Amino acid sequence: MAAPLEGIVVVDFTEYVAGPYCTMMLADMGAEVLKVEPFEGDHWRRQQPVAGRESRYYIGVNRGKKSIALRLETPEGRAIAHDLVRRADVVVTNYRPGLPEQLGLDYETLAGLRPGLIYAALSAFGPQGPYSGRPGFDLLVQAMSGIMDFERKVERGVPVGITSFAPADLSTGMFTAYAIAAALFMRERSGLGQKIDTSLFASAIAIQYRPTLAIESLDRENREALLGAVEAARDSGASYEDLFEFRTGLGLGRATAMYYRVFRTRDSLICVACLNNRQRRGLRDALGVDDPAVDGHVYELGAAITPEDHLALMASYEGAFLRKTTAEWLTALEAADVPCVPVVLSEEVFDHPQVAANGLIQTLRHPVVGTIRQPGAPVWMSNAEVGRHVPAPAFSAHARETLRSIGYGDDEIASLEARGIVQPPAVAPDGARS
C-alpha cells in the first residue's frame, strides 16, 4: 500500500524537539524528510550522547529522515539549501525571528524559489508581541502559560514543571504537522502555497482546554477577586507554598480526587478514573464506603461537606484499597465497570502485552548505536501504509546522496567537504564507515 504523503518532500531546518517531532510525524506518513543540520549538528545530538554524535534525545524525534549538515552562514551553504528547497513541497523552520532573513531562509525568499511552497515556522512565543524575539523552551512556556501553576507540584518551595514529556514542544509539533497536512490538501484544490506560524506558547494555551475556558458570567467576578487577593499576598511577601495553601483554601483543591487518582494497594499501586456518577458509584460500592454526593446524575460537589469531612472520606477510600492487592482490585473493579489500570513503570512498557498486541514499540537497527527499541507511529489506516521503519539518521549520513540528487558531481562534493561547507558523513546510511 502507498503511504499518505508518498512523494511529498520536506526540507527540515529544525532542532531540539517541536520541529523534529513535527517532521518525524510527516516521515511516518511517507514524506521524504531531508534534515538540514547546522555544521556541528542539531544541538539535541549533544545532549548526553551515547556514541559519537548520537544521543537518545536526537534518536527519539528524528526517525525516518535523511541528514545533511551544511554551513548555512556561507554563500555556498545557502546555495545548497536553496537547491534543496527548489524540489521541496514543505519547509519547516524553528529559528528565532530575524534569523531566517539573515540566512536567506525566510518565507518570501524560499517561496520565490518554489511556487506553491508550504512553509511552517515554529517559534517559542509567536511572531508578534513583546516576547516574539525571545528564545524559549518547553519549561519556560509551562511557566508562562499557567501549566506549571495548575499542576501544583512543589519541590524546595517552588513549582516544578511536567518532566515525563514536553507538553508544549510535542503539542506544537503535532499542531504543525496537522496544519501542514491541511495546507497540502488546500494546495491540491487551489494550487496555492502558504506560510504557517505556530508557537510553543500558543500550543500550551490551546491544550489547556479546561483551565483556559472562562464562562464570564460565572467566572469573571471570582477570577478578579482571586487575582486581587493573590496580588496582596505577593505584596506581603508570601512564599509560593503559602500562596499554594491560600489558593487551596479558596476552594481550588482537587475536590474530586477520590475518583480520579492513584491509590496504594496491599502490594503496589492502582489508578482509577471515574468521570461520571455511574462509574463513581461502582467504585464507591466496590470499596464499601459511603458517599451520597454520587447518588444522582450530577456529581454534587456542593453537598455540604466540610474540608475535614472530605479528608475523612478520602482516608476511607485509601484504607479500603489497602485491604487487597492490585490484581484483586483490578478484577473487582473491572467487574463493576470501573475504569482502572495498574501503575506501570517506564521500563515495563516495552514488554507490556497491550503494547505488544498493538505493535507500539518497534525494533530498529541504528547505524551507530546498534539495535534500538522505540515507539512507532501511533495511528493505523485501512488503505494506507503508516510508519517508517527507519531509525534516526547518523550525523550528515546522507550528505553525498542528497547532493547527488540535486545535481552535484563527486568532484564538486569533494570540494565542498574540503572547504568546510558540507560535513562529510563519518558513517554511511547502512552503517558502513564512510
What CATH number does residue 323 fall under?
3.30.1540.10
136 lies in the same domain as 189: yes
Grid cell for residue 152: 501544583
What CATH number does residue 174 fall under?
3.40.50.10540
Amino acid at 102: Q
Reported as a single tens digit per residue, the pLDDT across 6-32 is 999 999 999 999 999 999 999 999 999
Coil vs helix vs strand at 42: coil
102 lies in the same domain as 21: yes
Whether the Cβ atoms of residue 393 and residue 364 lie closer than 8 Å to each other? no
178 lies in the same domain as 261: no
**121 lies in a domain?**
yes
Coil vs helix vs strand at 372: strand
**Cβ count within 10 A of residue 164:** 6
Run of H or E residues at 341 = strand 340-342
**2 lies in a domain?**
no
Of the ranges 104-108, 233-237, 270-274, 298-302, which one carries the lowest mean pLDDT score? 298-302
What is the residue-averaged pLDDT of the chain?
Answer: 92
Whether the Cβ atoms of residue 282 and residue 337 lie closer than 8 Å to each other? yes
**157 lies in a domain?**
yes
99 lies in the same domain as 49: yes
323 lies in the same domain as 376: no
238 lies in the same domain as 285: no
Reported as a single tens digit per residue, the pLDDT across 228-247 is 888 888 888 888 877 766 66
**434 lies in a domain?**
no
pTM of the model: 0.91
Q: Give the residue-averaged pLDDT of 73-97.
A: 96
Strands (E), 192-299: 194-199, 260-264, 269-273
DSSP symbol at 248: I
Whether the Cβ atoms of residue 399 and residue 425 lie closer than 8 Å to each other? yes
**pLDDT of the residue at 258:** 86
Q: How many helices (H) and strands (E) does the chain have?
A: 18, 15
Q: Answer yes or no: is pLDDT of 252 > 60.
A: no
363 lies in the same domain as 318: no
DSSP symbol at 96: P
**pLDDT of the residue at 251:** 46
**423 lies in a domain?**
no
244 lies in the same domain as 261: no
Q: Answer yes or no: is pLDDT of 255 > 60.
A: no
* Total number of domains constituting the chain: 3
Q: Answer yes or no: is pLDDT of 113 > 70.
A: yes
Q: Give the residue-averaged pLDDT of 376-386.
A: 92
pLDDT band at 417 (very low <50, low <70, confident <90, very high): very high
What range does the domain containing 231 cover?
Answer: 215-252
The most confident of 9-23, 153-167, 380-394, 414-428, by mean pLDDT? 9-23
Whether the Cβ atoms of residue 66 and residue 32 lie closer than 8 Å to each other? yes
